[in-house]
């Protein structure tokens, strides 16, 4: 039996884990989760979404039995619509997750019915030599499940993202007795979430934030706006109920916020939720009687919170004395965006409350003591850390080894044999990232995004030269610059200096050079870069266009 992460091991995001059972290189396979991760200006400007590279899996799709989705977060289900046609197998998920996954299939024109709804444990789904059950576990989204993966080689538990919350507000509480029962006959391997391995105190329950939020909302004199991840339905409910208790009308703003509550109600995850008003109606309600629940806790520029920070959104505008609550943690890398919004609100006189005090947010992931507790309950022969950067996986493996169980740091592409008593690395496959860039998929390493980054850092010079039938320059070189200063050291326009230097070269260039595109291009490029360096202290990207009339 093998375990092979294709995404999510060595990074937080784009989870995709393969399990295999059978003779070497002929294993029958299942895939657990198929997520995305998000781009940033530093490494992937202009990219819309980032996917794990599943080339290996697509090449072996005749061996693939099914896909199982643990829960509905984007980093676990986000690629289903984009990648389904490369795999062509049924996708199993619990009702709430399936609801979200079907939207994703529909968005990409894929068959929604390939998303199959399964009931939680003790139901098991057969997929070749595998039998897979969805064992409920608490997390920051409804119906999160660990997977119980049985093969003739034994039982494996794939934790999915989880916390040990016995009062999760929405959905099933963590049930240690049920878990102990599932694991009592022996578990070969626990493949386990590592996100919070560096947090040394036990995680807090979702229920603990309720009273604090009620206090805050009740005492707010004017309008209250709160943001959290829309998928954190328990939190959205807690916020809405706090508003209701304070006599406020609740208005949901942002597409994801509405879609998540809708999905929760459709699938029976939410059996009660305060009555909500439309943004149109909200405008007519006195602000001290209003509470908005909005998307954009990470400072996303197009989300409701960012739009409110810039001015009006859906006809509503925040004012001096309103309260804005971030019932959320800022994910590393999103700080600048969040701080930008905070300052925009500050300029409006809006009071901002964030999670610095730890009162208005709890994490959805298991902390170190919780990881230890789960190991004790599951009592597996080995624990393989996943869902973490290298440092998380390493710490989690160390923790496991210290507690006398087998472990290994297996990053994306590492094939691990988990048949024996301890994990054994048995191979490597090519992995990486692919980008959704507008309407096309591009490789992370094929130079397209690298060129964009270079243009952003260095600017871009375009040089055109026209040569006549005799390879003689027709007129002078012509330059256009983009993203570069208009003039430099000589105080003359940069394009003039460039054209002068390039034309001078053309005037003295040999017949041989002028007749040879490659040589001419190389020389002109070198001159263009050097002239820019002399003038403005930058060596830009250069595009050369040599037109020949012959």
DSSP letter at 399 equals: H
Stretch that binds a copy of itself, among 259-267, 311-319, 386-394, 424-432 (CB under 8 A): 386-394
- Phi, psi for 52 (deg, rounded to 5): -70, 150
Token readout for 184 is 């009592």
Q: What is the 3-state secondary structure (H, E, C) of 424-437?
A: EEEEECCCCEEEEE
Residues 270/237, Cβ–Cβ less than 8 Å: yes
Please, which of residues 208-267 interact with a copy of itself by CB under 8 A? none
Q: Which is nearer to a copy of itself, 312 or 390 (CB)?
A: 390
CA distance readout (Å), 264 to 72, 117, 384: 11, 15, 32
545 binds a copy of itself (CB under 8 A): yes
Residue of 483, 513, 525, 529 interacting with a copy of itself (CB under 8 A): 483
Considering the rule CB under 8 A, would residue 549 count as an interface residue with a copy of itself?
A: yes
Q: Which is nearer to a copy of itself, 104 or 158 (CB)?
A: 104
339 lines the binding site for a copy of itself (CB under 8 A) = yes
Interactions with a copy of itself, residue window 37-66 (CB under 8 A): 40-42, 45-46
Task: Name the segment binding a copy of itself (CB under 8 A); options: 116-124, 144-152, 245-253, 440-448.
Answer: 440-448
Q: Which segment (88-96, 306-314, 338-346, 364-372) binds a copy of itself by CB under 8 A? A: 338-346
User: Applying CB under 8 A, which part among 54-62, 76-84, 218-226, 337-345 lies near a copy of itself?
Assistant: 337-345
Radius of gyration of the chain (CA): 28
CA distance 231 to 254: 12
**What secondary structure does DSSP assign to 180-226, as a single string?**
HHHHTT-EEEEEEE-TBTT--SPPPPGGGHHHHHHHHHHH-SS-EEE
Are the beta carbons of 67 and 87 closer than 8 angstroms?
Answer: yes
CB of 328 to a copy of itself, least distance (A): 16
Min CB(194)–a copy of itself separation in Å: 12
Q: Provide the minimum distance between the beta carbon of 294 and a copy of itself in the complex, in angstroms, as a whole number.
A: 19
> How many helices (DSSP H) and strands (DSSP E) are in the chain?
17, 28
Q: Which is nearer to a copy of itself, 404 or 438 (CB)?
A: 438
In the list 119, 167, 219, 346, the residue contacting a copy of itself (rule: CB under 8 A) is 346
Q: In terms of CB distance, is 106 or 474 closer to a copy of itself?
A: 474
Per DSSP, 288 falls in state G
Residues 374, 377: Cα–Cα separation, whole Å: 5
Residue 547 touching a copy of itself (CB under 8 A)? yes
Could you tell me which residues come within 8 angstroms of residue 239 by beta carbon, excluding any fewer than 6 positions away?
213, 217, 226, 228, 291, 293, 325, 327
- Taking the complex as a whole, the smallest distance from the CB of residue 341 to a copy of itself amounts, in Å, to 10
Applying CB under 8 A, the span of 116-124, 264-272, 500-508, 533-541 interacting with a copy of itself comes to: 533-541
Measured from the CB atom, the residue of 401 and 448 that comes closer to a copy of itself is: 448
Nearest to 172 by CA among 201, 146, 190: 146
C-beta of 312 vs 489, nearer to a copy of itself: 489
Subset of 152-211 contacting a copy of itself (CB under 8 A):
198
From the list 411, 407, 449, the residue with the least C-alpha distance to 430 is: 411
Please tell me whether residue 333 binds a copy of itself under the rule CB under 8 A.
yes
Q: Which residue from 528, 334, 340, 538 is spatially nearest to 456, judged by alpha carbons?
A: 538
**Binder to a copy of itself among 478, 493, 519, 521 (CB under 8 A)?**
478
Looking at 113, 356, 402, 469, which residue binds a copy of itself (CB under 8 A)? 356
Interaction residues for a copy of itself, span 444-473 (CB under 8 A): 448-449, 451-453, 455-460, 462, 464, 466
For the chain, give percent helix, strand, coil, nearest 5: 35, 25, 40
- CA 11 – CA 264 distance, rounded (Å): 29
Q: Please identify which residue in 219, 428, 475, 517 interacts with a copy of itself, judged by CB under 8 A.
A: 475
**Kind and range of the H or E element at 496?**
helix 494-508
Question: Given the structure tokens 């570069």, which residue do they identify?
Answer: 484
Please list every residue from 418 through 437 that binds a copy of itself, using CB under 8 A.
437
Residue 389 binds to a copy of itself (criterion: CB under 8 A):
yes
Shortest distance in whole angstroms from residue 345 CB to a copy of itself: 8
Applying CB under 8 A, what is the total number of residues that bind a copy of itself?
Answer: 65
496 HSE (CA, 13 A, CB side)? 8
Q: Is 391 in the site for a copy of itself (CB under 8 A)?
A: yes
Nearer to a copy of itself (CB atom), residue 277 or residue 342: 342
Least Å distance, CB 466 to a copy of itself, is 6
Do the beta carbons of residue 66 and residue 29 sit within 8 Å?
A: no
**Neighbouring C-alpha atoms within 13 Å toward the C-beta of 340:** 14
**Pair 460, 483: CB distance under 8 Å:** yes
Tally of residues, the chain: 550
In the three-class reduction of DSSP (H, G, I as helix; E, B as strand; rest coil), residue 416 is classed as: strand
Binding positions for a copy of itself, rule: CB under 8 A: 10, 40-42, 45-46, 198, 332-333, 335-336, 339, 342-343, 345-347, 349, 352, 356, 389-391, 394, 437-440, 442, 448-449, 451-453, 455-460, 462, 464, 466, 474-475, 478, 480, 482-489, 533, 535-538, 541, 543, 545, 547, 549
């Amino acid at each position: 039996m093998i375990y092979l992460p294709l995404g999510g091991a060595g990074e937080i995001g784009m989870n995709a884990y393969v399990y295999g059972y059978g003779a070497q290189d002929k294993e029958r396979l299942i895939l657990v989760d198929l997520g995305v991760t998000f781009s940033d200006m530093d490494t992937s400007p202009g990219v819309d979404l980032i996917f794990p590279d599943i080339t290996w899996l697509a090449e072996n799709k005749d061996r693939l039995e099914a896909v199982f989705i643990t829960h509905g977060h984007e980093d676990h289900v986000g690629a289903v619509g984009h990648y389904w046609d490369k795999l062509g197998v049924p996708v199993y998920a619990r009702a709430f997750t399936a609801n979200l996954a079907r939207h994703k299939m529909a968005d990409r024109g894929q068959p929604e019915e390939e998303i199959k709804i399964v009931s939680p444990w003790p139901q098991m789904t057969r997929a070749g030599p595998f039998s897979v059950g969805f064992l409920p576990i608490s997390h920051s989204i409804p119906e999160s499940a660990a997977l119980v993966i049985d093969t003739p080689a034994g039982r494996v538990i794939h934790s999915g993202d989880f916390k040990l919350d016995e009062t999760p507000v929405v959905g099933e509480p963590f049930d240690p007795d049920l878990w102990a029962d599932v694991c009592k006959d022996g578990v070969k391997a626990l493949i386990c979430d590592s996100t919070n391995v560096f947090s040394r105190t036990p995680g807090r329950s979702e229920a603990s934030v309720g009273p604090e939020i009620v206090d805050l909302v009740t005492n707010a004199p004017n309008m209250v706006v709160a943001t959290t991840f829309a998928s954190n339905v328990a939190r959205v409910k807690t916020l809405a109920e706090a508003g209701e208790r304070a006599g406020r009308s609740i208005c949901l703003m942002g597409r994801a916020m509405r879609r998540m509550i809708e999905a929760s109600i459709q699938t029976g995850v939410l059996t009660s939720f305060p009555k909500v008003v439309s943004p149109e109606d909200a405008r007519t309600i006195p602000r001290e009687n209003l509470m908005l629940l909005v998307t954009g806790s990470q400072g996303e520029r197009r989300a409701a919170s960012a739009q409110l920070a810039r001015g009006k959104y859906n006809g509503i505008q925040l004012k001096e004395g309103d309260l804005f609550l971030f019932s959320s943690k800022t994910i590393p890398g999103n700080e600048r965006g969040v701080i930008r919004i905070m300052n925009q609100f500050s300029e409006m006189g809006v009071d901002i409350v964030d999670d610095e005090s730890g009162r208005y947010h709890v994490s959805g992931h298991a902390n170190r003591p919780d990881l230890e507790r789960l190991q004790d309950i599951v009592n597996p022969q080995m624990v393989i850390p996943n869902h973490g950067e290298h440092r998380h996986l390493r710490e989690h493996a160390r923790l496991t080894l210290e507690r006398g169980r087998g472990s290994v740091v297996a990053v994306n592409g590492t094939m691990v044999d988990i048949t024996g008593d301890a994990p054994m690395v048995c191979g490597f496959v090519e992995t990486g990232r692919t980008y959704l860039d507008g309407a096309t998929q591009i490789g992370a390493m094929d130079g397209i995004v690298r060129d964009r980054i270079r243009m952003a850092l260095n600017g871009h010079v375009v040089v055109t030269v026209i040569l006549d039938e005799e390879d003689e320059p027709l007129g002078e070189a012509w330059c256009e610059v983009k993203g570069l200063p208009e003039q430099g050291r000589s105080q003359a326009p940069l394009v003039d200096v460039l054209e002068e230097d390039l034309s001078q070269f053309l005037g003295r260039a040999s017949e041989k050079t002028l007749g040879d595109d490659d040589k001419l291009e190389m020389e002109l490029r070198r001159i263009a870069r050097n002239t820019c360096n002399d003038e403005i202290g930058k060596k830009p990207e250069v595009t050369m266009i040599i037109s020949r009339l012959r």
